[in-house]
Structure 1
Amino acid sequence: MKFFSQSFLYDDNWSIVSLAYFLRYPNPYASHVISCDVISREQTETGTLRTTRLILKRGNMPRWFPKQFVSRAESWLVEESEVDPFGKVVHCKTRNLDNLKVMRVEELVEFRQGQEDKTIQHTEVRITSGFGWGLTKRIENYGITRFKANLQRSREGVHLILDLLRQSRLQPMALGDASIPHVLPMHAPAPTIPFERHEERYDDDSAVPPRQGVWSKIRNWISPSS
């Protein structure tokens, strides 16, 4: 078994970071995600919200892996989350449902309100392979390496959604306005957008957004001018 953990600090408060995390699909940094569907949602007696989502992801097997053991490079995952709005904590567990003998992946993510109105994300992953044939350690090492790379892209996707949420609070949007994208294309290439940390807070909803804000960049990315 291989184990990896990492913590990360967002400069935004817990509410907006948690919202961005659950809205992260689709985004151009997660083109390997084919679908994401809610299959159950309930409010517990203590006031927390439990949600189960079914996610289909596309992946590439390494060249050295015997192709006859995996019929397709796609995998179903189940994501089980619980949101505690009173304690300001999100717990999320994701695990794969198929190809378990080749690789079993279990990811635990926690978002917790930190000091100075910031948010702490702690991620843990356990990767286990029961494949054998002298490839167990190689498969587990490959899984950890891929997870680390995807973790960085996942944060970039969350940062993109955070920027979109900030911009949506700064400028009015008319219903049915076709000039503003409501859903990001699932398989479009990632735009070049700087993801510097934001220390400012927006208390005035009437403030005018920057001329080259995220919405403008997204519009230019989706509908480039000729």
Structure 2
Amino acid sequence: MVKYFCSTSDIKSTWDHVVSAFWQRYPNPFSTHVLTEDVVYREVTTDHRLLSRRLLMKTNRLPRWAERFFPAGMSRYVYILEDSIVDPVNRSLTTYTWNLNHTTLMSVEERCVFLDSAEQPATTQLKREAWISSSIFGFSKPIQEFGLARFKSNQVKAMKGLEYTLSNLQGETPQRLLRDSVRPPSEKAKEAAKSLASAAAAPKKPQQYV
């Protein structure tokens, strides 16, 4: 069984501003769990679409009951791959993300589609979908329930972070330096990220989830 989540919302900002904010949303005070982000691959296609693949490293805070499924010494970092397609002709931004490690405990795949609204001026429509699964025998259902609850909480924070970045870009709040909310990773974490990025680079082009 897989837990499925779907939500739609309207962002009160133009598609151009939303796309600009998407690339600049880290760091922000609502996403302090995001530690690093690196571009693995990028290409502009002949039909003017921008394909990107990024590797993100995030902290992995677990409830106490979940610690029993985590072997001692296992990394508490989660590495996320993010494929994205910016289509300026059809004015859409599609992203697809999934975790690279800890997939036996929980796998979370997410797709977001940002579309320029045809009905409402200066509005961007967002459709967010997620698929959450676990391979822990006998405990997959409660783990998936926990994963769904955490995903819902995190997507609220993600929206607040995007809105924060949009406000700064549009000059609605004073620009200011944040406290060092994106902390530098340890050397061990850096090496792990490099290894995962190398493995994730094949296939070379991001999947086109549209």
- TM-score, normalised to structure 1's length? 0.74
Q: Quote the residue 1:38 is aligned against.
A: 39
Distance 1:117 1:25 in 2: 23
Higher relative contact order (CA 8 A, sep 6+): 2
1:93 aligns with 2:96: yes
Q: Quote the residue 2:64 is aligned against.
A: 63
SS at match of 1:98: coil
Q: Which amino acid aligns with 2:140?
A: T
Offset at residue 69 of structure 1 (A): 3.0
Offset at residue 155 of structure 1 (A): 0.6
Offset at residue 67 of structure 1 (A): 5.0
Kindly tell me: are residues 184 and 85 of structure 1, through their superposed partners in 2, closer, same or farther at Cα, counting changes over 3 Å? farther
Give the CA RMSD over aligned residues: 1.9
Encode CA deviations 1:68-99: one digit per residue, 9 max, x unaligned.
43713210000000000111000100000001
Which of 126, 130, 147 is the matching residue for 1:125? 130
Structure 1 runs, 4 residues or longer, greater than 4 Å off: none
Offset at residue 185 of structure 1 (A): 3.6
1:153 aligns with 2:157: yes
Q: Which amino acid aligns with 1:131?
A: I
Distance 2:127 2:8 in 1: 4
Gaps of 5+ in 2: 183-210
Offset at residue 19 of structure 1 (A): 1.2
Distance 2:156 2:179 in 1: 20
Over the matched positions of the two proteins, sequence identity in percent amounts to 30
Offset at residue 46 of structure 1 (A): 1.0
Offset at residue 25 of structure 1 (A): 0.9
- TM-score, normalised to structure 2's length? 0.79
